[in-house]
């Protein structure tokens, strides 16, 4: 192994990427952990918003429907970067107003919490649309049957609508997860120490730009490819008992 | 007419009035006195955002055609690299790609004397070639995937009919295959172009003064936080609306057989 590294002239690269302090590998991995933490939190937050948003869009009154329409349209038309800044400032302002209103000191919001709040709201708009489409694809008869059995709306949602819509929603949700992981990079611009910013700092202090950016790209790619495998399994699980399109067609 | 009637529902009238009241309140009680001072810079930034968007969309689309074609019908030695390219572009954040090209290539080029002496050097020292390259490659990566589906979606009978007419392979591609593939892809392309618009503010991170960078500068100079950002959001929404209308118009121009 060592001789191979020497032969390829990569010993300097290995040194730079090593996990212990002279190398920057540890910083990169810590950044990746932060990125994943935010991505998972924002994704979960977005799914919750999306589920309620989709129900509101489908069953809500005219005002709720229009407000949700404004929310999804605005979030999908304004760059994430601008939304991140607006939501970040609004979030810290509101929180501080509430906190000082109760007579406490001003607080600094942690980067992770801010990232989850901001990206979660962005994700929520996309999730609303994905889940709305998936719920619409569930045959009406199934929901009517559940109602005829006397199930409460919540029970219908838990036992019928959500399981039945899963297979339609998974491809869109998989896509959303990939967007969530990539959007965490945008937090680098507001100075949060996730993978991309850690990489930039490592690169600019060692002047080895290609080494670090390619390494970070490799890490992101690993996350993407692994998620692809996981979501394929989840999709197969969600499609249990359904005929695949290929078998059904022609 | 129907859109006008839809706006006349009672709850919509109330919401529109509330919105107008909100806008009036914003105009009246927020600070907008910085606008005249920064108007010229903002127009310059807006123009930069728009030309970067148009140039990278066109370049990216031209690159996406061979990428889609290679993946749809190419032999393995063409389809495999095309697929790898699309996977890598789609699997890593755009910000990382921009920084890799700008900082990476930007630190590599000066090491070669022949590059420094070449005609291109004055351009390579600026930031915009890297921004255009990164955004074009990104658009090509996403569109390559879309065009793959669009090329394979063209009905076989169409191409067989063209062959029966004795068209050459290139004519078939130019007259039959490509136009129909683009027609298939148009609805997706509209959405992707709006996504590309939303990606343009990232170039501000490599010192290009686009409209987003102007808003950031206003914030830094005057400590006014919300007003520039709100105006910026409205500007982006307006551009996104124009893109959506443009693609709608484009789709309307394509004659569709009544089904």
Query: Chain B partners of A92 at a C-beta cutoff of 8 Å?
Result: none
Asked whether the beta carbons of B68 and B147 are under 8 A apart, the reply is yes
User: Is A78's CB within 8 Å of B237's CB?
Assistant: yes
Residue B39 lies inside a defined structural domain of this protein: no
- What one-character DSSP code corresponds to residue B8? T
Which residues of A fall within a CB distance of 8 Å from B232? 82
Contact A78 B236 (CB under 8 A): yes
Q: Looking at the partner chain, which of A85, A189, A213 has a beta carbon nearest the beta carbon of B104?
A: A213
Which chain B residue is nearest to residue A219, measuring alpha carbons? B92
CA B78 – CA A230 distance, rounded (Å): 28
| Total structural domains within chain A | 1
Model confidence at A246: pLDDT above 60? no
- Give per-residue pLDDT as tens, B67-125: 999 998 888 899 999 999 999 999 999 999 999 999 888 888 877 777 777 777 777 77
Looking at residue B192, which CATH number applies to its domain?
Answer: 1.10.3720.10
Residue with structure tokens 């255009």?
A: B132
Substitution target in A209, A210, A224, A250 with the highest count of B β-carbons within 10 Å is: A209
Rounded to 5°, the CA angle B9-B238-A177 comes to: 90
Decide if B211 is inside a domain: no
Query: Total structural domains in chain B?
Result: 1
At residue A243 the predicted structure's pLDDT band, cuts being 50, 70 and 90, is: low
Q: Which domain holds residue B91?
A: 47-203+240-253
Query: For residues B104 and A209, is the Cβ–Cβ distance under 8 A?
Result: yes
CB < 8 Å to B15, chain A: 63, 66
Query: Which of B99, B105, B226 to mutate against chain A (most A CBs within 10 Å)?
Result: B99
* Residue A171 resides in a domain: yes
B132 in any annotated domain: yes
- Complex ipTM over 0.85: no
A224 found inside a domain: yes
- pLDDT, tens only, B196-255: 999 999 999 888 888 999 998 888 888 888 888 988 999 999 999 999 999 989 888 877
Q: Which residue of B has its CA nearest to A81?
A: B201
Query: Which of A187, A195, A173 has its CA nearest to residue A87?
Result: A187
Q: What is the pLDDT of residue A125?
A: 93
Q: Is residue A2 part of a domain?
A: no
User: What token pair was written down for A148?
Assistant: 């005829």
Q: Is residue A197 part of a domain?
A: yes
Q: Is residue B165 part of a domain?
A: yes
What mean pLDDT do residues A88-92 have?
83
Q: Indicate whether B127 belongs to any domain.
A: yes
- Is A173 a domain residue? yes
**Residue matched to tokens 């298939």:** B184
Inside any domain, residue A196: yes
CA A210 – CA B101 distance, rounded (Å): 9
Q: Say if A249 falls within a structural domain.
A: no
B104/A78 Cβ within 8 A: no
CATH of the domain at A212: 1.10.3720.10
Instruction: Give the nearest chain A residue to B219 (CA atoms).
Output: A85
Query: Predicted confidence band at B3 (pLDDT cuts at 50, 70, 90)?
Result: low
> Between the CA of residue A87 and those of A39, A67, A100, B21, B49, what are the distances in Å?
17, 18, 19, 22, 23
CB pairs under 8 A between A and B: 111
Residue numbers of the domain that contains A121 = 7-240
The Cα of B254 is separated from the nearest Cα of chain A by a number of Å equal to: 26
Is the residue at A250 inside a domain?
no
Say if residue B140 is exposed, middle or buried (CB neighbours under 10 Å; 0-12, 13-18, 19+): buried
Q: Does residue B170 lie within any of the structural domains?
A: yes
Q: Do B96 and A217 touch (CB under 8 A)?
A: yes
């Amino acid at each position: 192994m060592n001789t191979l590294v020497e032969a390829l002239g990569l010993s300097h690269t290995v040194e730079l990427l090593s996990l212990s302090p002279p190398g920057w590998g540890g910083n990169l991995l810590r950044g990746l952990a932060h990125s994943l933490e935010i991505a998972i939190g924002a994704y979960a937050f977005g799914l919750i918003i999306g589920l309620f948003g989709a129900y509101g869009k489908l069953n809500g009154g005219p005002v709720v429907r229009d407000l949700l329409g404004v929310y999804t349209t605005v979030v999908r038309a304004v760059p994430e970067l601008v939304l991140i800044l607006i939501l970040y400032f609004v979030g810290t302002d509101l929180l501080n107003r509430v906190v000082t209103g109760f007579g406490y000191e001003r607080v600094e919001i942690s980067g992770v919490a801010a990232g989850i709040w901001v990206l979660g709201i962005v994700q929520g708009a996309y999730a609303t649309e994905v889940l709305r489409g998936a719920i619409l694809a569930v045959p009406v008869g199934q929901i009517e049957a559940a109602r005829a059995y006397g199930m409460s709306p919540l029970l219908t949602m838990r036992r019928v609508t959500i399981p039945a819509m899963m297979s339609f929603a998974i491809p869109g949700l998989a896509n959303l997860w990939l967007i969530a992981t990539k959007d965490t990079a945008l937090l680098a611009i507001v100075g949060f120490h996730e993978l991309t910013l850690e990489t930039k700092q490592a690169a600019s202090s060692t002047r080895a730009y290609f080494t670090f950016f390619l390494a970070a790209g490799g890490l992101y790619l690993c996350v993407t490819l692994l998620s692809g495998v996981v979501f394929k399994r989840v999709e197969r699980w969600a499609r249990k008992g359904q005929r695949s399109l290929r078998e059904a067609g022609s | 007419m129907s859109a006008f009637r839809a706006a006349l529902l009672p709850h919509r009238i109330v919401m529109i009035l509330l919105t107008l009241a909100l806008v009036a309140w914003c105009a009246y009680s927020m600070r907008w006195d910085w606008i005249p001072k920064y108007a010229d810079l903002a127009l310059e930034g807006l123009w930069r955002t728009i030309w970067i968007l148009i140039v990278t969309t066109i370049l990216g689309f031209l690159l996406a055609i061979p990428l889609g074609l290679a993946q749809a019908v190419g032999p393995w030695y063409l389809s495999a690299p095309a697929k790898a390219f699309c996977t890598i572009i789609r699997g890593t954040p755009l910000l990382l790609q921009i920084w890799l090209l700008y900082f990476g290539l930007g630190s590599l080029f000066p090491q070669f004397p022949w590059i420094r002496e070449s005609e291109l050097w004055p351009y390579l020292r600026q930031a915009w070639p890297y921004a255009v390259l990164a955004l074009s490659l990104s658009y090509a990566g996403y569109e390559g995937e879309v065009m793959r589906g669009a090329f394979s979606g063209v009905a076989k009978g169409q191409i067989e009919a063209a062959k029966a007419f004795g068209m050459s392979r290139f004519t078939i591609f130019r007259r039959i295959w490509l136009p129909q593939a683009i027609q298939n892809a148009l609805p997706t392309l509209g959405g992707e172009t709006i996504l590309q618009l939303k990606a343009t503010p990232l170039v501000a991170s490599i010192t290009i003064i686009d409209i987003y960078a102007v808003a950031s500068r206003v914030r830094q100079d005057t400590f006014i936080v919300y007003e520039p950002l709100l105006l910026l959001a409205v500007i982006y929404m307006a551009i996104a609306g124009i893109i959506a209308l443009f693609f709608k118009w484009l789709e309307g121009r394509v004659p569709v057989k009544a089904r």
